[in-house]
Amino acid sequence: MRRITLLLLIGALIATGTLFAAGTREAATDPSGRERRLVIYASHPTDMVDFYVERFKQRYGDIEVELITGGTGELLSRVQAERGRPQGDIMWGGGSHTGGSAPDLFLPYDSPALEGISPAFHDPKGFNAPFDAFTMVIVYNKNLVPENEVPRRWADLTDPKWRGRIVHANPAASSSSYAAMVTWLEIGGWDLVEALARNQIIAESSSAPFTQVGQGENPIGIAYEEGAFRWVPSGNVGIVYPEDGVALLPGGLFLMRNSPNPNNAKLFADFLLEQEQQEALARNFPGRRPTHRNVDLDPAMTQVDQLNVIEYPVDAASANRAEYLARWREIMIRTR
């Protein structure tokens, strides 16, 4: 009888022990300073992330790459929750200000590869490795929006005829949609933000606007450039760079503070800023803007000099994030 009890207890101990052991990680380094592993938190669409992870593995076959994907907000919450014992090495996604606004979570990194990157995209605080840049655009379905009604400016989207027909992601959940909100704030203050919000359907994912417009479920969406371009081959969607102003936003790539594999994290950041990878970006991912000074833009995209680029208030946007989102929530409460 007691033997059975003992056996069961031992069994239970072994089982829990194994489970815990599976959860711990080793951080062995080889002589070249490289660790064995690299843990990437990425909020970009999986096809692009997988593409670059694959290329990275081809070059550094000995590094075991682990990918953790999710929404930007979700991943940042996770980084925040894990700050006592960071699990990841690099955060790939979110706005360029993310690192500078959370210096307790991320490390500044002066990559040697920044040499090749246009100065316009450099992070003044030195945290970001600006791998790409994007603008927020209006995407519309050509079958649902007649040519003469196509909105040209953000302000056109306040017209009551679009009530409940414009898809926009929740700024609290999506960093790109937050950037769009700050852009409107710069152009027309909270009045414009509220007038726009009144007409919007709020989705919980930044892919929803271009997906729904592409499918023809809704006529108009507010989307990041690359997402909108995904539907161009269907022939159904049109893309508008609003004339009242667009912000040019570098994408975020940050090294996590106290991460288990810091050297590999640097390696990955350097890798993505290389001219070769930047060219691959322009070639394989229409709608993405490379940041390297020697790499040309996809010809289908509008060149920067033809856009009405406004100065994006990077510092204010990150410093006032909580306050702005609270304002947004108040607007939601008022308009819903």
Q: Which is nearer to another protein, 116 or 216 (CB)?
A: 216
CA distance 183 to 136: 9
59, with CB counted inside 10 A (0-12, 13-18, 19+), is exposed
Q: Which is nearer to another protein, 186 or 217 (CB)?
A: 217
CB of 189 to another protein, least distance (A): 22
The yes or no reply on residue 2 touching another protein (CB under 8 A) is yes
Q: Which helix (H) or strand (E) holds 224?
A: strand 220-224
Q: Can you tell me which of 64, 65, 67, 244 binds another protein, judged by CB under 8 A?
A: 67
The yes or no reply on residue 73 touching another protein (CB under 8 A) is yes
The yes or no reply on residue 69 touching another protein (CB under 8 A) is yes
CB of 149 to another protein, least distance (A): 17
* Cβ count near 125 (within 10 Å): 17
Q: Can you tell me which of 85, 119, 146, 299 binds another protein, judged by CB under 8 A?
A: 85
Stretch that binds another protein, among 1-9, 30-38, 266-274, 308-316 (CB under 8 A): 1-9
Structure tokens at 258: 């106290």
3-state secondary structure of 308: coil
CA distance 292 to 85: 34
Q: Can you tell me which of 17, 33, 103, 164 binds another protein, judged by CB under 8 A?
A: 164
The yes or no reply on residue 71 touching another protein (CB under 8 A) is yes
The yes or no reply on residue 258 touching another protein (CB under 8 A) is no
The yes or no reply on residue 230 touching another protein (CB under 8 A) is yes
Mark residue 246 as left, alpha or beta (left: phi above 0; alpha: psi -120 to 50; beta: remaining). beta
Q: Can you tell me which of 4, 110, 119, 161 binds another protein, judged by CB under 8 A?
A: 4
CA distance 128 to 233: 32
The yes or no reply on residue 307 touching another protein (CB under 8 A) is no
286-to-137, 234, 265, 299, 302 alpha-carbon distances in Å: 14, 14, 26, 9, 12
DSSP class per residue in 21-64: HHH-----B-TTS-BSEEEEEE-S-HHHHHHHHHHHHHH-TTSE
Q: Which is nearer to another protein, 94 or 290 (CB)?
A: 94
What letters, b where the CB count within 10 A reaches 16 and e where it falls short, cover 126-143? ebbbbbbbbbbbbbbbbe
- Taking residues 315 to 334 in sequence order and writing x for each that binds another protein by CB under 8 A, - otherwise, the string is ------xx---------xx-
Stretch that binds another protein, among 76-84, 113-121, 151-159, 253-261 (CB under 8 A): 76-84
63-to-52, 261, 267, 332 alpha-carbon distances in Å: 14, 10, 11, 46
Q: Which of residues 198-217 bind another protein (CB under 8 A)?
A: 201-202, 204-205, 207-208, 210-211, 214-217
CB of 306 to another protein, least distance (A): 26
Q: Can you tell me which of 172, 195, 253, 256 binds another protein, judged by CB under 8 A?
A: 172
Write a three-state SS string for 232-301: HHHCCEEEECCCCCEECEEEEEEEECCCCCHHHHHHHHHHHHCHHHHHHHHHHCCCCEECECCCCCCCCC
- Residues contributing to the site for another protein (CB under 8 A): 1-2, 4-5, 8-9, 19-20, 22-23, 41, 45-47, 50, 66-71, 73-74, 76-78, 80-82, 84-85, 87, 102, 164, 170, 172-173, 201-202, 204-205, 207-208, 210-211, 214-218, 227, 230-231, 233-234, 321-322, 332-333, 336
